[in-house]
Homo-oligomer: A and B are copies of this chain.
Amino acid sequence: MAKREEILTAALDVIARNGYRRTSVRELADAVGLSQAGLLHYFSSKEELFQEILRKRDEVDASAFESMHESPIEGFFAVIRHNSEVPGLVQLYAQVSTEAGDPDHPAREFFIERYKQFRAMFSQLIRDEQAAGRIDADLDADRIANLFLAAADGLQTQWMLDPSIDMADHVAYLWQLVTRA
């Protein structure tokens, strides 16, 4: 459905500017020129809507940043750098991903799957670096992968409270730590 995509794209735009906390279904509906009920015609619930917004965001980021960098780790840094341009999306992600920690949250499965994928991707990346001799082969790729994802998430919390914190810089520093260890 083209309309669904149109809604999600518009939603990303609104939320990037207004943040998650202030954004109701009604406002997203306004942004696409639909009524609240009209918008919910395309999604089974508010929670599903926001989950799909986040999925769309991943998709947009992936196609924007993954291909344009030679090494995958550079793409990762680029996404993080980009994040500081879209505070509302950072807030959206941080908020919903922690809500999804609740056993009954409808987006829980989505996030479990998402972390599984990112974890696999990242630990593969590290193993590749190990194979190439750029990271000590003794290091535990899985644990390091989890630590990178955790650092990226946790830095968002700090950055929202103090935007002078440079998220990308910190993650790059962690990378430096790992590559020289």
Chain B residues within 8 Å of A155, by CB: 146-147, 150, 154
Within residues 74 to 95 of chain A, which ones have a CB less than 8 A from any CB in chain B? 90-91, 94-95
CB < 8 Å neighbour of A19 from B91, B102, B149: B102
Q: Is the interface of A mostly helix, strand, loop or mixed?
A: helix
Chain B residues within 8 Å of A181, by CB: 177, 180-181
CB < 8 Å neighbour of A174 from B99, B147, B149: B147
Flag whether A65 is at the interface (Cβ < 8 A). Answer: no
- Complex-state Cα separation, A93 to B177, whole angstroms: 29
Within residues 140 to 181 of chain A, which ones have a CB less than 8 A from any CB in chain B? 140, 143-144, 146-147, 149-158, 160-162, 165, 169-170, 173-174, 177-178, 180-181
- Complex-state Cα separation, A136 to B160, whole angstroms: 30
A-B contact pairs, 30 of them (CB 8 A): A21-B102, A90-B101, A98-B157, A100-B160, A100-B161, A101-B157, A101-B160, A101-B161, A102-B160, A108-B161, A112-B161, A112-B162, A115-B161, A139-B177, A140-B173, A144-B177, A146-B155, A146-B158, A146-B170, A147-B173, A147-B174, A150-B151, A150-B157, A150-B170, A151-B151, A153-B157, A153-B158, A177-B177, A177-B181, A180-B181
